[in-house]
C-alpha cells in the first residue's frame, strides 16, 4: 500500500490527498446518544466510510448503548498528534484515545493510568465502524480468512452476560478491508499482539455497521491497545464535479442558477452548456459559457452558471465536461404538482390510529388504540422525553387516560405523537386553507371506521380531512387532562426501535394490571405494552394548542361545524385557564430551561390574534395590540408571528415596522452570502431544511406586505435548494418529486432502504468542521434523512406560495 503522508491541517484533522481522519471533531449527541457521527472517522475519496472509532462496551453498539463522556481534546499540529480524554464515569474508567500520523499511516492507541476495571474485562474494546453499503460487493482478508461483505447479515449469535450479541465473522491480527478497490481499501493491524475481530452489527440492529474490534486487556496500564491504520489513496485523486440544479425544473419567470461543485485540487475549468431536448431526441445547444467563480465553501470550490434568460418552455439538460445531468423542465406548471405526493401519500402514511391502504399495499393497520397510560413520575426517558415529580392532573402513574386514541400523526421516522409537531402541522394546514384554499381530493378518510385509502377520492378536500385528524388529537388531550401535553411515546425501548407495521407495537387492548401478562378479557389485557402520555404542564405548549385550534376552527366551520365549535371552545378554555394562573419565571421545553418572557409574549400574542379572528371578542384584540409592540423588540425571533399579524393591523403600524423589515432583509441577505446557494445551511446537529423553508415562508408573507423591500428570489432559491441545488449531491430532498429524488430515507420503512413519497428529509448536515453530507446510500442517519411532519406541511405551503406568486393562482 502506498504511504500516506498525513498532516494535521488548519481545521485540526488529519489530511492527505483523498483521505481525512476526523478525531472527535464531532462529539456524541447529548440528546440522541450515538448518531453515527462522532469519534474517529474516515473520509475516503470524498465519502465518509467509517465512524465511531472509540472504546465501546458492545461488539456492535446500538444508538442507546453506553457511551463514554467526552472530556477534552488536544491537537498538536507540529507532531501530527490528536489526544482525546474520555471517561466511563459509572465504571470509574478514564482513558485517552491518541491518534498519531507517522510511518505512512495513523496509529490509534488507548492509554489508561489505571488498569481496566474487572467489570469491563472482556466487555470494553476499541471499535471502528464501517458503513455497510460502501462495502457491499467488496472483499475482506483477515489473516488467512477471505470473505465478501454480505448485503444481508447471516452470522452466528451468542449470549454474553444475558445479552444476545453477534459472534465475530473472523479474527486475526491484520485485516484488509476492500483490497479489491483502491478507493475503499483500508488496512488495520494490531501492533501489540491483541486480536482483531470483524463483526456485522446488522445482526443486532438494522442500523448496525461492520465493526472492527479489539478487546482491551485487563491488568495493564499505559498503552493498552494500538492499531496501525492505512488507507490506500490515489495521490492524483480529484473528486468528480457536481452540477447542482433543480430536479423539478424552473418557472420561466424565476431566476435560474446552476452551481458547479469542484474538488479544491481541480484546476481545469470547462464550459457548461444548456441543451434543449427535442421531440426527436436530439439535443440543441441553447446557451454555453464558462461558469463564474464564487469561491470556497466548506472544503469545495464553487462556480455558478446563470441561465435566467432562457424562458422557452421545454425539457433541458446541463453538460459540464463529461457530465450530463438528468432532464428538467422549464414551464409555468413546474410547481403545481410538486406537493401532491406529500399531501396524497406522506401524510396519510403518517396518520396514527388509522388503517392506511394504498392499492394493493397496507402501509399499516390502525395502531395504538390502547392509548395511553400516564407516564410514571420522575422519569427520564429517551429522546428528550421526561416526566416530572407530579402528573399535573388527576391521573395516577400508569393509569389509563381516556380519549387519546384519536387523530394525530407519527411525528417522524418513529411512531411518537409529539404535540409541538402536531400543533405546527395544524397551524400550517389552517394557513394553507386560508391563503390558498387547497381543495385537492385524492384520499378517502373515515374517522368512524378508522380507515384511510390513498388515491381514492371521497368528495372531501384532503387538507380539511387532515386538519380534522390533527384537531381530534389536540382536543382529545385537553378534554382528557385539562391542557396540552408534551405527547405520547413508547413505554419500552424495544417498541421505540420498532420498524414495520405500527399496529404490531401493542396489542391494541388497554392495559389491565389485574390480569396476568398474556390474559385478556376482550377490551383489556395484562400485557404491559401501552404507550405512555407525558403530561408535564407547560403554558407555552398550552397556548400552542389554543393557536392551532382557533385557526382550525375557522377552516372547519363549513366542513365539520360541530368540530369547529368544539375547537373554538377548547381554545377559549385554554386562554381563560392560562390567564387564571401565574406565569412561571422559567419554562421547561425540549429538555432545556428558558426565560418564560422570551417565549410567552410571542405565543400569547399569536393565540390572541387567532382567537380574535375566530371569536371576534375585543378582549383578544386588545391583548394582541398590547403584546405586539413587545414582539417588535425581538423582530428576528418573532418574524413569523409578526408577518402573520401585520395584514390585520392599520397602515400606521405597517409603516412603523418597515425599517425593521429593511434591517431584517439586509441581515438575511448577508447571511445567505455565506455559501453559493443563497440560503442558510445549518451547522447544528440536525440538518437545516426546516429553517430554509421557514425563512422562505417568512419572505413570502413579508413580500406580500412590502414587495419593494422583500423580493421573491429567496422563495425560489429555497425551493431550488430543496429540489437539488445544494452541496454533496444533486438529488431532490423530497422523495418522489423531481427526476432524481431521495429514494433512501429515514422513514418508518427505512429498514427496506426505501422511502415514503412526499416525505422531506432534513438535508445537508455539515459534519464538523467542513464535510457537507447527505447519505443517499444509507437511510439510518436521522440528522440527515429523517422525515418530520412539520417540515412536510411547511413544504406544501411554500410550493403553493411560489406557484401563487409566479402564476397568480392558488392551485
Tell me, what's the pLDDT at 595? 67
- State how beta strands 93-102 and 81-88 pair: antiparallel
Mean pLDDT of 286-306: 98
Report whether pLDDT(468) > 50. yes
Give the β-pairing of 47-56 and 40-44.
Answer: antiparallel
The mean pLDDT value for 528-536 works out to 97
Cβ contacts of 536 within 8 Å, gap of 6 or more = 386, 387, 388, 392, 485, 486, 588
Per-residue confidence (pLDDT) for residue 592, from 0 to 100 = 61
pLDDT of residue 347: 98
Does this model's pTM top 0.95? My answer is yes
Residue 759 has pLDDT above 90, yes or no: yes
| Each residue's pLDDT tens digit, 150-197 | 999 988 999 877 888 899 999 999 999 999 999 999 999 999 889 999
**Whole-angstrom distance, CA of residue 15 vs CA of residue 535:** 49
State the pLDDT confidence band at 694, using cuts at 50, 70 and 90: very high
Cβ-in-10-Å burial (0-12, 13-18, 19+) of 144 comes to exposed
Binned at pLDDT 50, 70 and 90, residue 388 comes out as: very high
Asked whether this chain's domains 7-231 and 242-330 adopt the same fold, the reply is: no
Contacts 24+ apart (CB under 8 A), 553-557: 553/614, 554/430, 554/434, 554/613, 554/614, 555/429, 555/430, 555/433, 555/434, 555/464, 555/467, 556/464, 556/467, 556/468, 556/471
Average pLDDT estimate for 396-404:
97
Rg (CA), the chain: 28
Domain 242-330, architecture per CATH: Sandwich (2.60)
- The position carrying cell 426546516 is 690
- The answer, yes or no, to whether residue 366 has pLDDT greater than 80, is yes
pLDDT band at 810 (very low <50, low <70, confident <90, very high): very low
Inform me whether the pLDDT recorded for 17 exceeds 90. yes
User: How many CB atoms neighbour CB 804 within 10 A?
Assistant: 17
Q: Which residues touch 249 (CB under 8 Å, ≥6 apart)? A: 328, 329, 330, 331, 334
pLDDT at 149: 97
Locate cell 469561491: which residue?
Answer: 295
In contact, 355 and 362? CB cutoff 8 Å: yes
Q: Where are the domains of the chain?
A: 7-231, 242-330
Q: Which CATH class name applies to 7-231? A: mainly beta
State pLDDT tens for residues 141-151.
999 999 999 99
Does residue 111 surpass a pLDDT of 50?
yes
Which residue in this structure is represented by grid cell 474538488?
263
Question: How confident is residue 32, by pLDDT bands cut at 50, 70 and 90?
Answer: confident
The string of pLDDT tens digits covering residues 193-230 is 899 999 999 999 999 999 999 999 999 999 999 999 99
Beta bridge partners of residue 454, listed in sequence order: 358, 443
Give SS3 for 400.
strand
pLDDT single digits (tens) 47-97: 999 999 999 999 999 888 899 999 999 999 999 999 999 999 999 999 999
Instruction: Give every CB contact of residue 152 below 8 A, 6+ residues apart in sequence.
Output: 202
> How sure is the predictor about 34, in pLDDT bands with cuts at 50, 70 and 90?
confident
| Residue 609 CA: distances (Å) to CA of 577, 604, 646, 697 | 17, 9, 10, 19
The average confidence (pLDDT) of the chain is: 95
**C-alpha to C-alpha distance for 726 and 741, rounded to whole angstroms:** 13
Q: Alpha-carbon torsion 256, 690, 30, 33, what sign?
A: negative
Q: What pLDDT sits at residue 598? A: 72
Split at pLDDT 50, 70, 90, the class of 273 is: very high
Amino acid at each position: 500500500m502506498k504511504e500516506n503522508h498525513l498532516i494535521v491541517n488548519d481545521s485540526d484533522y488529519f489530511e492527505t490527498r483523498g483521505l481525512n481522519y476526523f478525531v472527535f471533531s464531532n462529539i456524541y449527541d447529548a440528546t440522541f446518544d450515538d448518531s453515527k457521527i462522532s469519534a474517529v472517522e474516515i473520509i475516503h475519496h470524498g465519502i465518509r466510510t467509517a465512524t465511531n472509532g472509540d472504546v465501546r462496551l458492545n461488539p456492535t453498539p446500538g444508538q442507546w448503548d453506553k457511551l463514554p463522556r467526552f472530556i477534552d481534546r488536544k491537537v498538536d499540529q507540529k507532531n501530527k498528534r490528536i489526544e482525546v480524554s474520555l471517561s466511563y464515569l459509572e465504571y470509574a474508567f478514564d482513558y485517552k484515545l491518541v491518534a498519531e500520523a507517522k510511518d505512512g499511516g495513523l496509529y490509534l492507541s488507548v492509554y489508561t493510568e489505571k488498569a481496566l476495571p474487572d467489570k469491563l474485562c472482556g466487555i470494553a474494546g476499541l471499535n471502528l465502524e464501517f458503513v455497510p453499503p460502501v462495502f457491499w460487493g467488496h472483499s475482506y482478508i483477515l489473516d488467512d480468512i477471505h470473505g465478501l461483505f454480505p448485503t444481508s447479515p447471516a452470522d452466528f449469535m451468542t449470549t454474553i452476560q444475558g445479552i444476545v450479541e453477534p459472534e465475530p465473522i473472523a479474527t486475526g491480527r491484520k485485516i484488509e478491508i476492500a483490497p479489491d478497490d483502491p478507493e475503499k481499501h483500508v488496512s488495520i493491524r494490531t501492533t501489540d499482539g491483541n486480536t482483531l475481530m470483524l463483526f456485522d452489527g446488522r445482526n443486532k440492529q438494522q442500523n448496525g455497521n461492520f465493526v472492527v474490534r479489539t478487546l482491551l486487556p485487563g491488568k495493564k496500564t499505559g498503552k493498552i491497545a494500538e492499531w496501525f491504520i492505512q488507507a490506500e489513496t490515489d495521490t492524483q485523486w480529484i473528486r468528480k464535479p457536481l452540477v447542482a440544479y433543480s430536479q423539478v425544473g424552473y418557472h420561466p419567470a424565476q431566476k435560474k442558477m446552476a452551481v458547479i461543485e469542484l474538488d479544491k485540487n481541480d484546476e481545469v475549468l470547462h464550459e457548461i452548456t444548456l441543451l434543449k431536448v427535442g421531440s426527436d431526441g436530439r439535443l440543441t445547444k441553447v446557451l454555453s459559457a464558462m461558469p463564474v467563480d464564487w469561491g470556497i465553501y466548506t472544503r469545495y470550490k464553487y462556480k455558478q452558471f446563470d441561465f435566467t434568460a432562457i424562458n422557452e418552455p421545454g425539457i433541458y439538460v446541463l453538460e459540464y465536461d463529461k457530465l450530463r445531468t438528468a432532464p428538467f423542465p422549464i414551464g409555468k406548471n413546474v410547481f403545481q404538482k410538486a406537493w401532491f405526493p406529500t399531501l396524497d401519500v406522506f401524510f396519510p402514511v403518517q396518520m396514527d390510529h388509522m388503517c392506511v391502504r394504498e392499492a394493493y399495499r397496507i402501509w399499516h393497520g390502525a395502531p395504538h388504540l390502547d392509548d395511553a397510560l400516564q407516564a410514571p413520575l420522575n422519569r427520564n426517558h429517551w429522546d428528550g422525553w421526561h416526566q416530572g415529580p407530579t402528573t399535573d392532573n388527576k391521573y395516577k402513574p400508569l393509569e389509563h387516560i381516556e380519549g387519546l386514541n384519536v387523530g394525530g400523526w407519527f411525528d417522524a421516522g418513529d411512531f411518537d405523537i409529539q404535540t409541538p409537531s402536531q400543533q405546527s402541522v395544524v397551524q400550517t394546514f389552517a394557513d394553507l386553507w386560508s391563503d390558498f384554499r387547497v381543495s385537492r381530493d385524492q384520499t378517502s378518510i373515515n374517522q368512524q371506521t378508522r380507515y384511510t385509502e390513498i388515491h381514492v377520492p371521497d368528495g372531501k378536500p384532503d387538507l380539511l380531512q387532515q386538519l380534522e385528524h390533527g384537531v381530534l388529537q389536540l382536543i382529545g388531550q385537553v378534554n382528557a387532562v385539562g391542557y396540552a401535553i408534551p405527547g405520547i411515546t413508547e413505554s419500552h425501548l424495544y417498541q421505540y426501535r420498532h420498524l414495520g407495521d405500527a399496529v404490531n407495537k401493542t396489542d391494541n387492548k388497554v392495559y389491565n394490571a389485574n390480569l396476568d401478562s398474556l390474559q385478556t378479557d376482550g377490551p383489556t389485557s395484562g400485557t404491559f405494552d401501552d404507550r405512555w402520555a407525558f403530561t408535564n404542564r407547560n403554558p407555552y405548549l398550552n397556548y400552542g394548542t389554543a393557536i392551532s385550534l382557533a385557526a382550525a376552527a375557522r377552516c372547519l366551520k363549513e366542513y365539520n361545524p360541530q368540530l369547529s365549535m368544539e375547537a373554538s371552545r377548547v381554545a377559549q378554555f385554554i386562554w381563560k385557564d392560562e390567564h387564571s394562573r401565574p406565569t412561571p419565571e422559567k419554562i421547561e421545553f425540549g429538555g432545556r430551561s428558558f426565560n418564560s418572557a422570551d417565549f410567552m409574549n410571542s405565543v400569547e400574542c399569536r393565540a390572541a390574534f387567532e382567537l380574535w379572528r375566530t371569536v371576534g371578542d375585543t378582549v383578544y384584540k386588545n391583548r394582541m395590540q398590547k403584546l405586539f409592540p413587545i414582539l417588535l423588540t425581538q423582530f428576528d425571533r418573532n418574524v413569523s408571528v409578526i408577518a402573520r399579524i401585520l395584514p390585520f393591523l392599520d397602515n400606521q403600524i405597517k409603516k412603523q415596522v418597515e425599517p425593521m423589515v429593511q434591517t431584517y432583509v439586509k441581515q438575511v441577505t448577508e447571511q445567505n452570502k455565506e455559501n453559493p446557494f443563497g440560503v442558510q445551511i445549518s451547522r447544528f446537529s440536525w440538518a437545516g431544511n426546516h429553517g430554509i423553508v421557514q425563512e422562505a415562508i417568512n419572505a413570502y408573507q413579508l413580500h406580500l406586505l412590502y414587495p419593494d423591500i422583500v423580493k421573491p428570489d429567496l422563495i425560489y432559491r429555497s425551493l431550488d435548494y430543496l429540489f437539488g441545488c445544494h452541496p454533496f449531491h444533486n438529488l431532490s430532498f423530497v422523495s418522489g418529486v423531481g427526476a432524481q429524488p431521495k429514494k433512501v430515507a429515514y422513514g418508518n420503512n427505512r429498514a427496506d432502504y426505501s422511502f415514503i413519497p412526499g416525505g422531506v428529509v432534513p438535508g445537508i448536515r455539515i459534519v464538523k468542521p467542513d464535510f457537507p453530507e447527505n447519505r443517499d446510500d444509507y437511510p439510518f442517519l436521522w440528522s440527515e434523512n429523517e422525515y418530520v411532519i412539520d417540515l412536510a406541511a411547511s413544504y406544501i405551503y411554500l410550493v403553493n406560495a411560489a406557484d401563487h406568486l409566479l402564476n397568480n393562482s392558488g392551485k
